[in-house]
Amino acid sequence: MKKVTISTLLKMKQEKQLITALTAYDASFAKLFDEQGIDLLLIGDSLGMVLRGDDDTLSVTIENMAYHTRSVRQGVERAFVVADMPFMSYSTPEQAYLNAAELMRAGASMVKVEGGAWLLETIKGLQERSVPVCGHLGLTPQSVHVFGGFKVQGRDDLQAENILEQAKQLEQAGIQLLVLECIPTDLAEQISLALSIPVIGIGAGAKTDGQILVMHDMFGISANYMPKFSKNYLSQTGDIRKAVQQYIQEVQEGEFPSAEHSFN
């Protein structure tokens, strides 16, 4: 199978082929997911919660992310690899440049940052320095204490308008991919139609250009809790490979997420 690049993902959006994505944290699972045909793997700072059992992602360091990025890259031949920039690793543009370079050297093809307008200068600078960037709006887990918990965002008109505007600003600044987390389905659809870049949803309904899940949630083995927007594919199939295959199939056919995994 041909290697997936950002051009591949853009073409998929243009041709209305839905993108499939999962998190991964080591070579073994990365290889398994890659062999089943997953399009994108994210080394998420969610590792703080699902690997270490933390209450949030804030304790994850750039060293942690580089270690797991290097591990995942060892298992990948085809999938596009994105790595999270962890909490406070990109608070200034200069800091972002140094930390993004570490993740790219570890094997990432793109780095992901959480936030809106305050990141525009940083995103432009990263692009100018040959670092592709994925944005992340809606429920941004690194801001959990600002939100007062893991809460759905964009339910009122003003907040929804703000998220849409920030998405447009991020695209203008140079992001090539956007993750939308825990926002209403209609808002996610509006953003996906407004942007020319691929938009990947998690808890954002079925009207985005693709879906991503945390692998531990998909297998029903997360240390803390199972979010509403996830689905336990392992309990349905009894086999890890079949679970991944079913997830990919349901995303590609628009069957997942259904209404019960989405927000209004």
Catalytic (active-site) positions:
181
- Nearest-angstrom CA–CA distance, 15 and 9: 10
Any binding-site annotation on 112? yes
| Structural element, H or E, at residue 178 | strand 177-181
Q: State whether residue 211 is helix, strand or coil.
A: strand
Check whether 45 is labelled as a binding-site residue: yes
Task: List % helix, strand, coil for the chain (3-state, nearest 5).
Answer: 45, 15, 40
* DSSP track, 18-44: PEEEEE--SHHHHHHHHHHT-SEEEE-
Does the annotation flag 46 for ligand binding? Answer: yes
Write out the two tokens for 147.
Answer: 């939100």
The CA-atom distances, in angstroms, between 237 and each of 36, 210, 213, 254 are 15, 22, 17, 19
The verdict on whether residue 250 carries a ligand-binding annotation is: no
Distance CA 41, CA 36 (A): 12
* DSSP conformational letter for 153: -
* Alpha-carbon span 124 to 113, nearest angstrom: 13
Task: Summarize the annotated binding site for Mg(2+) as residue ranges.
Answer: 45, 84, 114
Task: Summarize the annotated binding site as residue ranges.
Answer: 45-46, 84, 112, 114
Task: Summarize the annotated binding site for 3-methyl-2-oxobutanoate as residue ranges.
Answer: 45-46, 84, 112
